[in-house]
Amino acid sequence: MAGLFDDDPAPRSGGSLLGDVQAAPPEPTQTPSYRVLARKYRPVLFDDLIGQEGLVRTIRNAFAMNRIAHAFMFTGVRGVGKTTTARIIARALNCVGRDGNGGPTADPCGVCANCVAILQDRHPDVIEMDAASKTGVDDVRDIIEATRFQPMMARTKVFIIDEVHMLSRHAFNALLKTLEEPPPHIKFVFATTEIRRVPVTILSRCQRFDLKRVAVETLAAHFQRVALAEKITIEPDAVDAIARAADGSVRDGLSLLDQAIALGLDRGIITADTVSGMLGLADRSMIFDLMDAIAAGDIARSLRFLDSAHDNGAEPGQIMQDLLGLAHTLSRLKSIPDLVSSKSLPELERTRGKKLADQLSIPWLGRLWQMLSKGILEIEHATDRRACADMILIRLCHVTDLPPPAELVHKLSQLSNHSSPRPAPITSPTGGFRAAIGSSGSIGADSPAAVLDAIPDPDIPAQWRIDRFEDVVALALERQDLRLYAHLRHDVRVVRFVPPVIELNLASTAPRDLAARISSLLEAGTKRRWTIALSREQGAPSLAEAEEQENARALDAAIGHPLVQAVLDTFPGSRIEAFHRPEPAPEVPRSVTDTTDNDDFDSLTNED
């Protein structure tokens, strides 16, 4: 039939009232719709599932022994086969075999009416519901109502609920009774990526299966088979890159492979560079070169590598992620030398990785991991991601020159005067260190709880010897009257202390009954009467004020300490932001039963 675009321009005659017309163009040939790889290679049998051997073995045994649970719960990350497994179970339950007389089987035939209808998502007795869009109790009530009716054409009615954790609390409650005692012709299959959001009342009524992330080497082998079936040539390094980027998800990996095929078809082969450019990744060998430059402290070379990777389309955040992953790999190679001969690592990791791991130490890799982890978070919130990545690399190169904290303290200690008191380092959670130098060179602090542990049990009847005001404060702590203890330290200035008379100047913040409470405390502790007089004289500083003054003097002494000066000289621009010195534990008041120096006190007590 001639058309509008025939070589012969002469039109055909027709009987139209409008004169001659050209023949209608031929209808365009309909091209079959393309099926993405993730759907085309979706497993249809249990044997097609990859990386889930434990799940497959358990379900096969359940079918063999006719011990099939009434409800299954599949959990795992996206794309590992949760919904696919649910559909295979639906076919296995309803397959009737090629001759139409078969029963439930772990190997459905794929050709009977039930198998074909389920494969084409049109079986009336296999109902799939997406709980992400149908979360309410009314949707669950529709399911419960449907369970009352027998299957239309299948042996078992199967309800598949995807993303079941999205159901509301009332929807879960409505499902409980039916899920616990379903009719014999009903099976439930649930799938979720967030198992913790599923109520335990639901979990206890299901047979749970945790689908694992698929290993990188397993994914790579699967993608190679798919590429071979599609008659696509792909480099092994490209397959490895796709498998790593898939992060354990078969579906994600097949989607990436689909994209790589479309991108590299014009070249006839999918190369590692093609995949790296598609994913925004840096070349893997470049990551090793960058790690070499960081380990050498070469800032200029590190920045040049980053410039090159950025010009080729690599994302700064992804480069830092690759460095973080390499730090993890090197730490594992350092800790488990046998990994060098393992086939689970690519060739580049086994060769260059081994060389780098031998050069670097675990403490250095640990600091690198901490700084990269923090740096990646900074990049995510940075307005200029590229500039942030530059600063992270500069920071990493500088920290290479720093020795481990323990070695640093040892070296600095050698610089200080050997006759000077030497403090001990306190390791901080961030991996750095700080030193607190007291007037005696000691470090630490005695908490009230520790002091209480050293004081005799207050239930023991005893008389205490009070020779100074600090003994009164210690007695309050021993009696576990922490509020009075605080007032005695902060609100009391001693004007005169002549037992059994104490003259005090109280701060305006002191409670009105403080003098009476002090008197009661002393009478209970010493079994004698005390007189607490109030005065307007200034008196001595309170214990808290005295400690502040002592801390200020100790801080000045610490700053002038040779070791501190050595630290400040080693780290230009550093400063002391906090100073910690041990709080002296209050002395425990002595009991009158103590035979040491208590003759005078005994005579005073006897006089009363």
Domain boundaries, the chain: 37-210, 218-399, 448-546+586-591
> Is the pLDDT reported for residue 438 higher than 50?
no
CA atoms of 244 and 235, how far apart (whole Å): 15
Joined together, the tokens standing for residue 250 give 């078969």
For 449-468, what is the mean pLDDT? 55
Relative to beta strand 186-192, strand 157-162 is parallel
Residue 574 main-chain phi, psi, to 5 deg: -75, 160
Dist. CA 194–CA 171, nearest whole Å: 17
DSSP 208: E
Q: What is the mean pLDDT of residues 136-148?
A: 88
Q: What is the mean pLDDT of residues 540-545?
A: 90
Question: What residue type is 383 in one-letter code?
Answer: T
DSSP 404: P
What is the per-residue pLDDT for 402? 64
Strand 501-506 and strand 71-75: the pairing is: unpaired
Compute φ and ψ for 126, nearest 5 degrees.
Answer: -115, 105
Write down the pLDDT at residue 584. Answer: 54
Residue 271: the pLDDT is 86
Predicted local distance difference test score (pLDDT) of residue 210: 93
Residue 440 has pLDDT above 60, yes or no: no
Helix (H/G/I), strand (E/B), else coil: 71: strand
Cα–Cα distances in angstroms (integers) from residue 463 to residues 104, 169, 287, 591, 593, in the given order: 87, 64, 74, 5, 8
The whole-angstrom separation of Cα 491 and Cα 372 is 49
Local confidence band at 535 (pLDDT 50, 70, 90 cut-offs): confident
Task: Report strand pairing: 207-210 vs 186-192.
Answer: unpaired
Of the listed ranges 362-371, 415-424, 509-518, the least confidently predicted one is 415-424
Enter the CATH code of domain 37-210: 3.40.50.300
Residue indicated by tokens 């091209």: 31
Taking residue 531's Cβ as centre, other Cβ atoms within 10 Å add up to 13
* pLDDT at 83 exceeding the cut of 90: yes
Whole-number pLDDT of residue 441? 33
Which range in 34-38, 86-90, 139-143, 525-529 is most confidently predicted, on average pLDDT? 86-90
What pLDDT score does 312 carry? 76
Sign of the CA dihedral running 351, 354, 360, 364: positive
**Taking the CB of residue 257, how many other CB atoms lie within 10 A of it?**
30
401 pLDDT above the threshold of 70: no
Total Cβ atoms within 10 A of residue 265: 11
Confidence grade of residue 91 (pLDDT, cut at 50, 70, 90): very high
Backbone φ and ψ of 108, nearest 5°: -60, 150
How much is the CA Rg of the chain, to the nearest whole Å? 40
Does the pLDDT value for residue 324 go beyond 70?
Answer: yes
Quick one: DSSP state of residue 326?
A: H
DSSP letter at 270 equals: B
Exposure on the CB side of residue 465, measured as CA atoms within 13 A? 18
Q: Is the dihedral of CA 237, 240, 246, 252 positive or negative?
A: positive
For the cut 90, the answer to whether the pLDDT of residue 189 exceeds it is: yes
For 385, the enclosing helix (H) or strand (E) is: helix 385-399
Per-residue pLDDT at 512 exceeds 70:
yes
3-state helix, strand, coil in the chain (%, to 5): 50, 10, 40
| Segment 194-237, tens digit of pLDDT | 999 999 999 999 999 999 999 888 999 999 999 999 888 898 88
| Residue 100, number of CB atoms within 10 A of its CB | 9
The pLDDT assigned to 425 comes to 36
| Predicted pLDDT at 400 | 63
Q: Which of 43-57, 216-230, 257-271, 476-490 shows the lowest mean pLDDT across its residues?
A: 257-271
Query: By the 8 A CB rule, do 412 and 561 touch?
Result: no
Do residues 90 and 158 touch, judged by C-beta distance below 8 A?
yes
What does the pLDDT read at residue 606?
37
- CB atoms inside a 10 Å sphere around CB 195: 16
Instruction: Indicate the pLDDT class of residue 165, thresholds 50, 70 and 90.
Output: very high
Q: Which residues pair with 327 in a beta bridge?
A: none
- H-helix or E-strand spanning residue 533: strand 531-534
Would you say residue 381 has pLDDT above 70?
yes
- What does the block give as tokens for 426? 């306190």
Model pLDDT, residue 19? 40
In contact, 109 and 95? CB cutoff 8 Å: yes
- Give the whole-angstrom CA distance, residue 115 versus residue 97: 9
Assigned token pair, 281: 């990744």
- pLDDT bracket for residue 388 (50, 70, 90): very high
Q: Is pLDDT at 423 greater than 80 in this prediction? A: no
Q: What is the pLDDT of residue 283?
A: 67
Segment 326-334 mean pLDDT? 90
pLDDT band at 578 (very low <50, low <70, confident <90, very high): low
CATH top-level class for 218-399?
mainly alpha
Alpha helices in 250-346 (DSSP H): 250-264, 272-279, 284-295, 299-311, 316-335
Q: Which CATH class is domain 448-546+586-591?
A: alpha beta
Residue 494 confidence (pLDDT) above 50: yes
Using CA atoms, how far residue 437 sits from 412, 567, 572, 574, in Å, is 15, 13, 20, 17
Which run of H or E residues covers position 497?
strand 492-498
- Contacts with 519 (C-beta within 8 Å, 6 or more apart), sequence order: 530, 531, 532
The token pair at 248 is 């354990």
First to last CA, the chain: 135
Closest by CA to 352, choosing from 335, 329, 371, is 329
> How does strand 433-434 pair with strand 426-427?
antiparallel
What are the backbone angles phi and psi of residue 190, rounded to the nearest 5°? -110, 150
Residue 274 has pLDDT above 90, yes or no: no
CB 49 within 8 A of CB 56: yes
Q: Record the pTM.
A: 0.57
Between residues 608 and 187, the one the model is more confident about: 187
Residue whose C-alpha is closest to residue 484's, from 535, 532, 419:
532
pLDDT at 27: 52
pLDDT at 159: 94
Most confident of 84-88, 229-233, 330-334, 432-436: 84-88
Averaged pLDDT, 27-39: 71
C-alpha 531/C-alpha 547 separation (Å) is 27
Percent of the chain's residues with pLDDT above 70:
77
Q: Rounded distance, CA 291 to CA 305, Å?
A: 10
Range in 156-170, 248-262, 394-408, 574-588 with the lowest mean pLDDT: 574-588
Number of Cβ within 10 Å of residue 29's Cβ equals 5
φ, ψ at 577 (rounded to 5°): -95, -25
Using the structure block, give the residue that is written with the tokens 């801080």.
555
